[in-house]
Chains A and B, each alone.
Chain A
Amino acid sequence: MKVTVHVWRQKNASAAGKFVTYPMDDISPDMSFLEMLDVLNDRLEERGEEPVAFESDCREGICGNCSMVINGTPHGPMRNTTACQLHMRSFSDGEDIYIEPWRAKAFPPIKDLVVDRGALDRVIQAGGYISVRTGSAQDANALPIPKLDVDLAMDAATCIGCGACVAACPNSSAMLFTAAKISHLGLLPQGQTERMERVRNMVRQHDDELFGSCTNYGECQDACPKGISINFIGHLNRDFLKANFLKVKNPRREVESQ
Protein backbone atom coordinates (compact mmCIF):
# COMPACT_ATOMS: atom_id res chain seq x y z
CA MET A 1 0.00 0.00 0.00
CA LYS A 2 0.93 3.67 -0.46
CA VAL A 3 0.86 6.26 2.26
CA THR A 4 2.27 9.78 2.61
CA VAL A 5 3.74 10.46 6.03
CA HIS A 6 4.25 13.97 7.35
CA VAL A 7 6.74 13.74 10.20
CA TRP A 8 7.58 16.45 12.73
CA ARG A 9 11.33 17.06 12.42
CA GLN A 10 13.09 19.08 15.07
CA LYS A 11 16.89 19.01 15.53
CA ASN A 12 16.88 19.75 19.24
CA ALA A 13 14.96 21.50 22.00
CA SER A 14 15.94 24.99 20.87
CA ALA A 15 15.58 24.52 17.10
CA ALA A 16 12.29 25.30 15.39
CA GLY A 17 10.47 22.19 14.17
CA LYS A 18 8.53 21.59 10.98
CA PHE A 19 6.72 18.84 9.13
CA VAL A 20 8.65 17.01 6.41
CA THR A 21 6.72 14.91 3.91
CA TYR A 22 7.89 11.43 2.88
CA PRO A 23 5.96 9.39 0.30
CA MET A 24 6.06 5.66 1.13
CA ASP A 25 5.08 3.54 -1.88
CA ASP A 26 5.55 -0.09 -1.00
CA ILE A 27 4.33 -0.55 2.54
CA SER A 28 2.90 -3.90 3.58
CA PRO A 29 -0.42 -3.65 5.40
CA ASP A 30 0.95 -6.23 7.84
CA MET A 31 3.79 -4.00 8.98
CA SER A 32 3.51 -2.42 12.38
CA PHE A 33 3.53 1.35 12.45
CA LEU A 34 7.05 1.39 13.88
CA GLU A 35 8.24 -1.02 11.18
CA MET A 36 6.95 1.45 8.63
CA LEU A 37 9.08 4.10 10.36
CA ASP A 38 12.05 1.68 10.37
CA VAL A 39 11.71 1.33 6.59
CA LEU A 40 11.58 5.10 6.28
CA ASN A 41 14.72 5.43 8.42
CA ASP A 42 16.61 2.82 6.36
CA ARG A 43 15.85 4.82 3.23
CA LEU A 44 16.87 8.08 4.86
CA GLU A 45 20.17 6.55 5.93
CA GLU A 46 20.77 5.14 2.43
CA ARG A 47 20.33 8.65 1.09
CA GLY A 48 22.69 9.99 3.76
CA GLU A 49 19.93 11.88 5.58
CA GLU A 50 19.32 12.04 9.30
CA PRO A 51 16.87 9.27 10.37
CA VAL A 52 13.70 10.19 12.29
CA ALA A 53 14.30 9.95 16.03
CA PHE A 54 11.51 8.10 17.82
CA GLU A 55 11.39 6.01 20.96
CA SER A 56 10.63 2.30 21.14
CA ASP A 57 11.70 -0.54 23.33
CA CYS A 58 9.49 -3.58 23.88
CA ARG A 59 7.43 -3.26 20.70
CA GLU A 60 4.80 -5.39 22.38
CA GLY A 61 2.70 -2.74 24.07
CA ILE A 62 4.07 -2.94 27.62
CA CYS A 63 6.86 -0.40 28.03
CA GLY A 64 5.10 2.80 27.02
CA ASN A 65 8.01 4.21 25.04
CA CYS A 66 6.53 4.53 21.57
CA SER A 67 5.00 7.93 22.15
CA MET A 68 3.70 9.70 19.07
CA VAL A 69 0.53 11.43 18.02
CA ILE A 70 -0.70 9.85 14.80
CA ASN A 71 -3.32 11.80 12.85
CA GLY A 72 -4.33 13.77 15.91
CA THR A 73 -4.64 10.83 18.30
CA PRO A 74 -1.94 9.58 20.68
CA HIS A 75 -0.86 6.10 19.52
CA GLY A 76 -3.07 6.42 16.44
CA PRO A 77 -6.65 5.61 15.51
CA MET A 78 -6.97 2.15 17.08
CA ARG A 79 -8.38 2.10 20.61
CA ASN A 80 -6.51 0.37 23.47
CA THR A 81 -3.43 0.02 21.28
CA THR A 82 0.08 1.44 21.50
CA ALA A 83 1.78 2.76 18.37
CA CYS A 84 4.03 -0.32 18.24
CA GLN A 85 0.98 -2.61 18.19
CA LEU A 86 -0.76 -0.60 15.50
CA HIS A 87 -0.65 -2.03 11.98
CA MET A 88 -0.61 -0.28 8.65
CA ARG A 89 -3.86 -2.04 7.76
CA SER A 90 -5.55 0.44 10.09
CA PHE A 91 -4.90 3.08 7.45
CA SER A 92 -6.38 3.34 3.99
CA ASP A 93 -4.36 3.17 0.82
CA GLY A 94 -3.09 6.61 -0.16
CA GLU A 95 -3.79 8.12 3.26
CA ASP A 96 -1.94 11.18 4.57
CA ILE A 97 -0.52 10.40 8.01
CA TYR A 98 0.63 13.18 10.33
CA ILE A 99 3.09 12.11 13.04
CA GLU A 100 3.78 14.53 15.89
CA PRO A 101 5.47 14.30 19.29
CA TRP A 102 3.54 14.57 22.57
CA ARG A 103 3.04 18.31 22.98
CA ALA A 104 3.06 19.72 26.50
CA LYS A 105 5.08 22.24 28.43
CA ALA A 106 5.88 19.49 30.94
CA PHE A 107 7.38 17.35 28.14
CA PRO A 108 10.22 19.41 26.63
CA PRO A 109 11.20 18.26 23.14
CA ILE A 110 14.50 16.39 22.70
CA LYS A 111 14.57 15.53 19.01
CA ASP A 112 11.94 14.85 16.31
CA LEU A 113 9.32 12.65 17.99
CA VAL A 114 11.24 12.19 21.24
CA VAL A 115 10.28 14.28 24.25
CA ASP A 116 11.50 14.23 27.84
CA ARG A 117 8.83 12.50 29.92
CA GLY A 118 10.85 12.82 33.13
CA ALA A 119 8.01 14.85 34.67
CA LEU A 120 6.03 11.62 35.01
CA ASP A 121 8.95 9.96 36.82
CA ARG A 122 9.14 12.86 39.24
CA VAL A 123 5.41 12.55 39.97
CA ILE A 124 6.03 8.91 40.88
CA GLN A 125 9.08 9.80 42.97
CA ALA A 126 6.95 12.21 44.97
CA GLY A 127 4.82 9.40 46.39
CA GLY A 128 4.53 6.32 44.21
CA TYR A 129 6.18 3.98 46.69
CA ILE A 130 5.25 1.86 49.71
CA SER A 131 7.05 0.79 52.87
CA VAL A 132 7.85 -2.92 52.88
CA ARG A 133 9.78 -5.28 55.07
CA THR A 134 12.92 -6.19 53.20
CA GLY A 135 14.62 -9.54 53.57
CA SER A 136 13.16 -12.91 52.64
CA ALA A 137 10.08 -12.82 50.45
CA GLN A 138 6.70 -12.98 52.14
CA ASP A 139 4.54 -16.07 51.59
CA ALA A 140 2.19 -15.66 48.70
CA ASN A 141 -1.31 -14.77 49.89
CA ALA A 142 -0.06 -14.05 53.42
CA LEU A 143 -2.14 -10.91 53.20
CA PRO A 144 -5.70 -11.70 52.11
CA ILE A 145 -7.08 -9.02 49.76
CA PRO A 146 -10.63 -9.01 48.35
CA LYS A 147 -10.70 -10.09 44.73
CA LEU A 148 -12.51 -6.95 43.59
CA ASP A 149 -9.87 -4.71 45.18
CA VAL A 150 -7.12 -6.69 43.52
CA ASP A 151 -8.81 -6.43 40.14
CA LEU A 152 -9.40 -2.71 40.49
CA ALA A 153 -5.81 -2.10 41.63
CA MET A 154 -4.62 -4.17 38.69
CA ASP A 155 -6.73 -2.11 36.28
CA ALA A 156 -4.94 1.00 37.56
CA ALA A 157 -1.56 -0.73 37.55
CA THR A 158 -1.82 -1.49 33.83
CA CYS A 159 -0.67 2.12 33.29
CA ILE A 160 2.56 1.93 31.29
CA GLY A 161 3.39 5.59 31.88
CA CYS A 162 3.46 6.46 28.19
CA GLY A 163 1.92 9.91 28.65
CA ALA A 164 -0.86 9.49 26.07
CA CYS A 165 -3.31 10.91 28.61
CA VAL A 166 -1.32 14.14 28.73
CA ALA A 167 -0.94 14.21 24.96
CA ALA A 168 -4.67 13.72 24.42
CA CYS A 169 -5.88 16.14 27.07
CA PRO A 170 -6.81 19.58 25.71
CA ASN A 171 -5.53 20.91 29.08
CA SER A 172 -2.32 18.82 28.99
CA SER A 173 -3.25 17.47 32.39
CA ALA A 174 -1.60 14.35 33.77
CA MET A 175 -4.47 13.56 36.11
CA LEU A 176 -5.19 10.12 34.65
CA PHE A 177 -1.56 9.06 35.05
CA THR A 178 -1.33 10.47 38.58
CA ALA A 179 -4.67 8.94 39.52
CA ALA A 180 -3.69 5.50 38.19
CA LYS A 181 -0.48 5.53 40.21
CA ILE A 182 -2.23 6.74 43.35
CA SER A 183 -5.06 4.23 43.02
CA HIS A 184 -3.05 1.12 42.31
CA LEU A 185 -1.20 1.60 45.59
CA GLY A 186 -4.04 3.12 47.59
CA LEU A 187 -6.45 0.29 46.83
CA LEU A 188 -4.19 -2.34 48.39
CA PRO A 189 -3.41 -2.89 52.08
CA GLN A 190 0.31 -2.43 51.42
CA GLY A 191 -0.34 1.09 50.19
CA GLN A 192 -2.20 2.37 53.24
CA THR A 193 0.77 3.61 55.28
CA GLU A 194 1.56 6.50 52.95
CA ARG A 195 -1.86 6.80 51.36
CA MET A 196 -2.76 10.31 52.53
CA GLU A 197 0.74 11.77 52.14
CA ARG A 198 0.98 10.13 48.74
CA VAL A 199 -2.01 11.87 47.21
CA ARG A 200 -0.97 15.27 48.54
CA ASN A 201 2.64 14.94 47.43
CA MET A 202 1.87 13.54 44.01
CA VAL A 203 -0.78 16.16 43.26
CA ARG A 204 1.66 18.89 44.35
CA GLN A 205 4.35 17.45 42.08
CA HIS A 206 1.84 17.15 39.23
CA ASP A 207 1.07 20.86 39.59
CA ASP A 208 4.74 21.83 39.96
CA GLU A 209 5.54 20.11 36.68
CA LEU A 210 3.19 22.60 34.96
CA PHE A 211 0.66 20.06 33.74
CA GLY A 212 -2.75 21.64 33.14
CA SER A 213 -5.80 21.03 35.28
CA CYS A 214 -8.45 18.41 34.57
CA THR A 215 -11.87 19.54 33.32
CA ASN A 216 -13.34 16.04 33.01
CA TYR A 217 -13.25 15.93 29.21
CA GLY A 218 -12.58 12.18 29.19
CA GLU A 219 -10.16 12.39 26.24
CA CYS A 220 -7.48 10.69 28.38
CA GLN A 221 -9.38 7.47 28.98
CA ASP A 222 -10.27 7.34 25.31
CA ALA A 223 -6.62 7.67 24.27
CA CYS A 224 -5.16 5.42 26.99
CA PRO A 225 -3.67 2.32 25.33
CA LYS A 226 -4.60 0.40 28.46
CA GLY A 227 -8.16 1.72 28.65
CA ILE A 228 -7.75 3.12 32.16
CA SER A 229 -10.97 4.72 33.38
CA ILE A 230 -11.33 8.30 34.62
CA ASN A 231 -13.06 6.67 37.56
CA PHE A 232 -9.57 6.58 39.06
CA ILE A 233 -9.48 10.37 38.88
CA GLY A 234 -12.56 10.22 41.10
CA HIS A 235 -10.58 8.01 43.51
CA LEU A 236 -7.78 10.57 43.50
CA ASN A 237 -10.19 13.44 44.15
CA ARG A 238 -11.78 11.56 47.06
CA ASP A 239 -8.42 10.71 48.61
CA PHE A 240 -7.27 14.29 48.13
CA LEU A 241 -10.32 15.61 49.98
CA LYS A 242 -9.84 13.11 52.79
CA ALA A 243 -6.15 13.86 53.05
CA ASN A 244 -6.83 17.57 53.34
CA PHE A 245 -9.86 17.63 55.59
CA LEU A 246 -10.54 14.35 57.35
CA LYS A 247 -7.18 13.09 58.51
CA VAL A 248 -5.34 14.72 61.38
CA LYS A 249 -2.56 16.77 59.84
CA ASN A 250 -0.22 16.40 62.77
CA PRO A 251 -0.68 12.89 64.15
CA ARG A 252 1.59 13.78 67.10
CA ARG A 253 -1.05 16.13 68.39
CA GLU A 254 -3.15 13.14 69.37
CA VAL A 255 -0.61 11.97 71.94
CA GLU A 256 0.48 15.31 73.30
CA SER A 257 -0.28 15.91 76.97
CA GLN A 258 -3.50 17.75 77.64
Chain B
Amino acid sequence: MNVSCEFYRSSVGKKVVVALTGAVLFLFVVGHMLGNLKTFMGMDPSGVHHLDMYAHFLREFMAEAMGHGNFLWLTRVVLLGCLLLHVVTVAQLQARSSEARPVKYKKQTLRASSVAARTMWYGGMLVFLFIVLHLGHLTLGSLHSDFVEGEVYRNVYIAFQNPLIVIGYFIAMCVLGFHLYHGVWSFFQTLGLDTPDRNCALRLVAKVASFVIVVGFLSVPLSLSLGLLPPPVGM
Protein backbone atom coordinates (compact mmCIF):
# COMPACT_ATOMS: atom_id res chain seq x y z
CA MET B 1 0.00 0.00 0.00
CA ASN B 2 1.07 3.54 -0.66
CA VAL B 3 3.05 4.90 2.31
CA SER B 4 1.26 8.19 2.76
CA CYS B 5 -2.16 6.58 2.28
CA GLU B 6 -1.55 4.00 5.00
CA PHE B 7 -0.08 6.76 7.13
CA TYR B 8 -3.03 9.10 6.75
CA ARG B 9 -5.54 6.31 7.29
CA SER B 10 -4.08 5.43 10.68
CA SER B 11 -5.07 7.29 13.82
CA VAL B 12 -1.41 7.99 14.66
CA GLY B 13 -0.67 9.35 11.18
CA LYS B 14 -3.71 11.63 11.35
CA LYS B 15 -2.53 12.96 14.68
CA VAL B 16 0.83 13.81 13.16
CA VAL B 17 -0.94 15.70 10.37
CA VAL B 18 -2.94 17.61 13.00
CA ALA B 19 0.27 18.42 14.87
CA LEU B 20 2.18 19.61 11.79
CA THR B 21 -0.65 21.74 10.41
CA GLY B 22 -1.23 23.04 13.95
CA ALA B 23 2.44 24.04 14.11
CA VAL B 24 2.20 25.99 10.83
CA LEU B 25 -0.91 27.77 12.12
CA PHE B 26 0.86 28.42 15.42
CA LEU B 27 3.84 30.03 13.68
CA PHE B 28 1.43 32.19 11.68
CA VAL B 29 -0.38 33.20 14.86
CA VAL B 30 2.91 34.27 16.46
CA GLY B 31 3.88 36.30 13.39
CA HIS B 32 0.42 37.87 13.16
CA MET B 33 0.52 38.85 16.82
CA LEU B 34 3.97 40.46 16.45
CA GLY B 35 2.83 42.27 13.28
CA ASN B 36 -0.22 43.63 15.11
CA LEU B 37 2.06 45.25 17.67
CA LYS B 38 2.99 47.73 14.90
CA THR B 39 -0.25 49.44 15.91
CA PHE B 40 1.66 50.90 18.84
CA MET B 41 4.41 52.42 16.68
CA GLY B 42 2.35 55.42 15.61
CA MET B 43 3.12 57.33 12.40
CA ASP B 44 6.31 57.81 10.47
CA PRO B 45 7.42 61.44 9.71
CA SER B 46 5.52 61.47 6.40
CA GLY B 47 2.25 60.95 8.32
CA VAL B 48 1.58 57.33 7.38
CA HIS B 49 0.72 54.81 10.10
CA HIS B 50 3.37 52.16 10.61
CA LEU B 51 0.61 49.57 10.65
CA ASP B 52 -0.49 50.63 7.16
CA MET B 53 3.11 50.55 5.93
CA TYR B 54 3.44 47.06 7.33
CA ALA B 55 0.32 45.91 5.50
CA HIS B 56 1.71 47.44 2.33
CA PHE B 57 5.04 45.72 2.92
CA LEU B 58 3.30 42.32 3.19
CA ARG B 59 1.68 42.91 -0.20
CA GLU B 60 4.92 44.01 -1.85
CA PHE B 61 7.16 41.43 -0.18
CA MET B 62 9.04 39.45 -2.85
CA ALA B 63 7.15 41.45 -5.49
CA GLU B 64 10.16 41.53 -7.80
CA ALA B 65 10.53 37.80 -7.79
CA MET B 66 6.88 36.80 -7.70
CA GLY B 67 4.81 39.75 -8.82
CA HIS B 68 2.66 42.18 -6.86
CA GLY B 69 0.72 40.59 -3.98
CA ASN B 70 1.53 37.06 -5.06
CA PHE B 71 3.61 36.19 -2.03
CA LEU B 72 0.72 37.25 0.17
CA TRP B 73 -1.62 35.03 -1.82
CA LEU B 74 0.74 32.08 -1.64
CA THR B 75 0.86 32.48 2.13
CA ARG B 76 -2.91 32.69 2.30
CA VAL B 77 -3.35 29.53 0.23
CA VAL B 78 -0.86 27.59 2.36
CA LEU B 79 -2.47 28.77 5.60
CA LEU B 80 -5.98 28.06 4.39
CA GLY B 81 -4.84 24.61 3.24
CA CYS B 82 -3.31 23.89 6.63
CA LEU B 83 -6.42 25.12 8.42
CA LEU B 84 -8.72 22.95 6.32
CA LEU B 85 -6.48 19.89 6.67
CA HIS B 86 -6.28 20.50 10.44
CA VAL B 87 -10.05 20.77 10.79
CA VAL B 88 -10.94 17.89 8.46
CA THR B 89 -8.43 15.54 10.10
CA VAL B 90 -9.50 16.52 13.58
CA ALA B 91 -13.14 15.95 12.63
CA GLN B 92 -12.30 12.43 11.42
CA LEU B 93 -10.45 11.64 14.66
CA GLN B 94 -13.25 13.12 16.72
CA ALA B 95 -15.84 11.01 14.89
CA ARG B 96 -13.79 7.87 15.50
CA SER B 97 -13.39 8.61 19.20
CA SER B 98 -16.99 9.56 19.82
CA GLU B 99 -18.10 6.19 18.40
CA ALA B 100 -15.60 4.31 20.54
CA ARG B 101 -17.73 4.43 23.71
CA PRO B 102 -21.37 3.75 22.85
CA VAL B 103 -22.49 3.32 26.48
CA LYS B 104 -21.29 6.16 28.71
CA TYR B 105 -20.17 5.84 32.32
CA LYS B 106 -22.57 6.80 35.07
CA LYS B 107 -19.58 8.25 36.89
CA GLN B 108 -16.31 9.21 35.29
CA THR B 109 -13.66 11.01 37.31
CA LEU B 110 -11.12 12.76 35.12
CA ARG B 111 -8.01 13.28 37.21
CA ALA B 112 -5.24 14.09 34.77
CA SER B 113 -6.52 16.03 31.78
CA SER B 114 -6.64 19.83 31.76
CA VAL B 115 -9.76 21.79 30.85
CA ALA B 116 -7.79 23.00 27.84
CA ALA B 117 -7.24 19.44 26.64
CA ARG B 118 -10.91 18.54 27.07
CA THR B 119 -12.13 21.54 25.12
CA MET B 120 -9.87 21.13 22.06
CA TRP B 121 -12.78 20.18 19.81
CA TYR B 122 -15.42 22.72 20.86
CA GLY B 123 -12.80 25.42 21.43
CA GLY B 124 -11.32 24.63 18.03
CA MET B 125 -14.72 25.06 16.39
CA LEU B 126 -15.10 28.44 18.10
CA VAL B 127 -11.66 29.40 16.79
CA PHE B 128 -12.82 28.39 13.30
CA LEU B 129 -15.95 30.50 13.63
CA PHE B 130 -13.80 33.40 14.81
CA ILE B 131 -11.42 33.03 11.86
CA VAL B 132 -14.33 33.25 9.41
CA LEU B 133 -15.83 36.31 11.13
CA HIS B 134 -12.43 37.94 11.56
CA LEU B 135 -11.58 37.56 7.85
CA GLY B 136 -14.93 39.11 6.98
CA HIS B 137 -14.41 41.87 9.52
CA LEU B 138 -10.86 43.11 9.04
CA THR B 139 -9.53 41.43 5.87
CA LEU B 140 -12.46 41.61 3.42
CA GLY B 141 -14.32 44.32 5.32
CA SER B 142 -17.75 42.98 4.45
CA LEU B 143 -18.66 42.74 8.16
CA HIS B 144 -17.13 46.14 8.94
CA SER B 145 -19.34 49.22 9.32
CA ASP B 146 -16.95 51.58 7.52
CA PHE B 147 -14.10 49.76 5.77
CA VAL B 148 -11.44 51.38 3.58
CA GLU B 149 -9.07 49.01 1.81
CA GLY B 150 -5.45 49.54 2.85
CA GLU B 151 -6.17 51.98 5.71
CA VAL B 152 -5.56 49.37 8.33
CA TYR B 153 -5.10 51.60 11.37
CA ARG B 154 -8.29 53.47 10.57
CA ASN B 155 -10.30 50.26 10.07
CA VAL B 156 -9.02 48.77 13.31
CA TYR B 157 -9.58 52.00 15.25
CA ILE B 158 -13.20 52.23 14.13
CA ALA B 159 -13.85 48.54 14.72
CA PHE B 160 -12.75 48.59 18.34
CA GLN B 161 -14.75 51.65 19.33
CA ASN B 162 -17.63 49.17 19.63
CA PRO B 163 -17.35 47.47 23.07
CA LEU B 164 -19.31 44.41 21.87
CA ILE B 165 -16.68 43.72 19.23
CA VAL B 166 -13.92 44.13 21.82
CA ILE B 167 -15.68 41.61 24.08
CA GLY B 168 -16.06 39.21 21.14
CA TYR B 169 -12.35 39.41 20.32
CA PHE B 170 -11.53 39.05 24.00
CA ILE B 171 -13.49 35.79 24.26
CA ALA B 172 -12.07 34.46 20.98
CA MET B 173 -8.49 35.08 22.06
CA CYS B 174 -9.03 33.37 25.42
CA VAL B 175 -10.42 30.35 23.58
CA LEU B 176 -7.38 30.37 21.27
CA GLY B 177 -5.14 30.62 24.33
CA PHE B 178 -6.75 27.49 25.79
CA HIS B 179 -6.32 25.69 22.47
CA LEU B 180 -2.62 26.48 22.42
CA TYR B 181 -2.11 25.76 26.13
CA HIS B 182 -2.76 22.10 25.34
CA GLY B 183 -1.87 22.19 21.64
CA VAL B 184 1.71 23.45 21.90
CA TRP B 185 2.70 20.78 24.41
CA SER B 186 0.64 18.17 22.58
CA PHE B 187 2.58 18.90 19.38
CA PHE B 188 5.80 17.70 21.01
CA GLN B 189 4.15 14.64 22.52
CA THR B 190 2.55 13.68 19.20
CA LEU B 191 5.86 13.85 17.36
CA GLY B 192 7.53 11.84 20.12
CA LEU B 193 9.76 14.79 21.05
CA ASP B 194 8.67 14.95 24.69
CA THR B 195 10.64 12.98 27.27
CA PRO B 196 10.31 12.91 31.07
CA ASP B 197 13.27 15.27 31.49
CA ARG B 198 11.94 17.76 28.93
CA ASN B 199 8.31 17.54 29.96
CA CYS B 200 8.39 20.33 32.56
CA ALA B 201 10.12 22.69 30.16
CA LEU B 202 7.78 21.89 27.28
CA ARG B 203 4.67 22.36 29.41
CA LEU B 204 6.11 25.69 30.51
CA VAL B 205 6.80 26.69 26.90
CA ALA B 206 3.14 25.97 26.09
CA LYS B 207 1.92 28.03 29.04
CA VAL B 208 4.17 30.99 28.30
CA ALA B 209 3.49 30.89 24.54
CA SER B 210 -0.29 30.80 24.96
CA PHE B 211 -0.20 33.56 27.58
CA VAL B 212 2.04 35.84 25.52
CA ILE B 213 -0.09 35.29 22.41
CA VAL B 214 -3.33 36.14 24.20
CA VAL B 215 -1.88 39.24 25.89
CA GLY B 216 -0.14 40.35 22.68
CA PHE B 217 -3.30 40.09 20.59
CA LEU B 218 -5.58 41.65 23.21
CA SER B 219 -3.29 44.61 23.82
CA VAL B 220 -4.44 46.18 20.53
CA PRO B 221 -8.26 46.14 20.90
CA LEU B 222 -8.01 46.98 24.61
CA SER B 223 -5.72 49.98 24.03
CA LEU B 224 -7.89 51.26 21.21
CA SER B 225 -11.13 50.94 23.12
CA LEU B 226 -9.66 52.49 26.29
CA GLY B 227 -8.52 55.48 24.24
CA LEU B 228 -4.81 54.91 24.82
CA LEU B 229 -4.07 55.33 21.10
CA PRO B 230 -4.82 58.42 18.98
CA PRO B 231 -7.57 58.40 16.34
CA PRO B 232 -6.38 58.10 12.72
CA VAL B 233 -5.60 61.25 10.74
CA GLY B 234 -8.70 63.07 9.65
CA MET B 235 -11.00 61.78 12.39
- CB interface residues, A 193-225, toward B, < 8 Å: 200, 203-204, 206-207, 210-219, 221-223
Chain A residues whose CB sits within 8 angstroms of the CB of B117 once the complex forms: 215-218
Contact with B along A218-258 (1 / 0, CB 8 A): 11011100000111011111111100110001000000000
Is B86 in the interface zone, CB < 8 Å from A?
Answer: no
Q: B interface, how many residues as a size bin?
A: 35 or more
Is A73 in the interface zone, CB < 8 Å from B?
Answer: yes
Among A71, A171, A219, A234, contact of B192 (Cβ-Cβ < 8 Å)? A234
Secondary structure at the A interface, as helix, strand, loop or mixed, is mixed
- CB interface residues, A 132-182, toward B, < 8 Å: 170-173, 175
Name the residue on B nearest A96 (C-beta): B107
Question: With A200-B6, A219-B113, A244-B6 in contact, do A234 and B97 touch (Cβ < 8 Å)?
Answer: no
Indicate if the CB atoms of A217 and B113 lie closer than 8 Å: yes
Chain A residues whose CB sits within 8 angstroms of the CB of B12 once the complex forms: 175, 203, 213-214, 236-237, 240
Contact stretch, chosen from A26-34, A100-108, A184-192: A100-108
Indicate if the CB atoms of A213 and B93 lie closer than 8 Å: yes
Chain B CB within 10 Å — which of A17, A212, A245 has the most? A212
Contact with A along B79-112 (1 / 0, CB 8 A): 0000000000000010011111111111111111
Chain B residues whose CB sits within 8 angstroms of the CB of A8 once the complex forms: 106
Chain B residues whose CB sits within 8 angstroms of the CB of A19 once the complex forms: 106
Chain A residues whose CB sits within 8 angstroms of the CB of B111 once the complex forms: 73, 219, 222-223
Q: A interface, how many residues as a size bin?
A: 35 or more
Indicate if the CB atoms of B191 and A237 lie closer than 8 Å: yes
A221 to chain B, nearest CB (A): 7
Name the residue on B nearest A199 (C-beta): B12
Is B189 in the interface zone, CB < 8 Å from A?
Answer: yes
A251 to chain B, nearest CB (A): 14
Indicate if the CB atoms of B107 and A72 lie closer than 8 Å: yes
A to B contact number (C-beta, < 8 Å): 141
Indicate if the CB atoms of A105 and B100 lie closer than 8 Å: yes
Is A83 in the interface zone, CB < 8 Å from B?
Answer: no
Indicate if the CB atoms of B106 and A219 lie closer than 8 Å: no
Indicate if the CB atoms of B108 and A104 lie closer than 8 Å: no
CA distance A217 to B113 in the complex (A): 5
Is B21 in the interface zone, CB < 8 Å from A?
Answer: no
Name the residue on B nearest A73 (C-beta): B109
Is A69 in the interface zone, CB < 8 Å from B?
Answer: yes
Chain A residues whose CB sits within 8 angstroms of the CB of B75 once the complex forms: none
CA distance A219 to B101 in the complex (A): 15
Indicate if the CB atoms of B100 and A241 lie closer than 8 Å: no
Is B32 in the interface zone, CB < 8 Å from A?
Answer: no
Contact with A along B155-191 (1 / 0, CB 8 A): 0000000000000000000000000001001100111
Indicate if the CB atoms of A103 and B189 lie closer than 8 Å: no
Indicate if the CB atoms of B100 and A106 lie closer than 8 Å: yes
A17 to chain B, nearest CB (A): 8
Contact stretch, chosen from B144-152, B193-201, B215-223: B193-201
Among A103, A214, A222, contact of B11 (Cβ-Cβ < 8 Å)? A214
Indicate if the CB atoms of B100 and A71 lie closer than 8 Å: no
CA distance A149 to B21 in the complex (A): 33
CA distance A8 to B106 in the complex (A): 10
CA distance A231 to B109 in the complex (A): 22
Chain B residues whose CB sits within 8 angstroms of the CB of A210 once the complex forms: 96, 99-100
CA distance A240 to B108 in the complex (A): 31
Cβ contacts A to B, 24 pairs, < 8 Å: A69-B107, A71-B109, A100-B107, A103-B103, A170-B108, A172-B97, A200-B6, A204-B10, A210-B96, A211-B100, A212-B97, A212-B100, A213-B93, A214-B11, A216-B117, A216-B186, A218-B112, A221-B112, A222-B112, A234-B194, A237-B12, A237-B16, A244-B7, A245-B7
Chain A residues within 8 Å of B, Cβ to Cβ: 6, 8, 17, 19, 69, 71-73, 98, 100, 103-106, 170-173, 175, 200, 203-204, 206-207, 210-219, 221-223, 229-231, 233-241, 244-245, 249
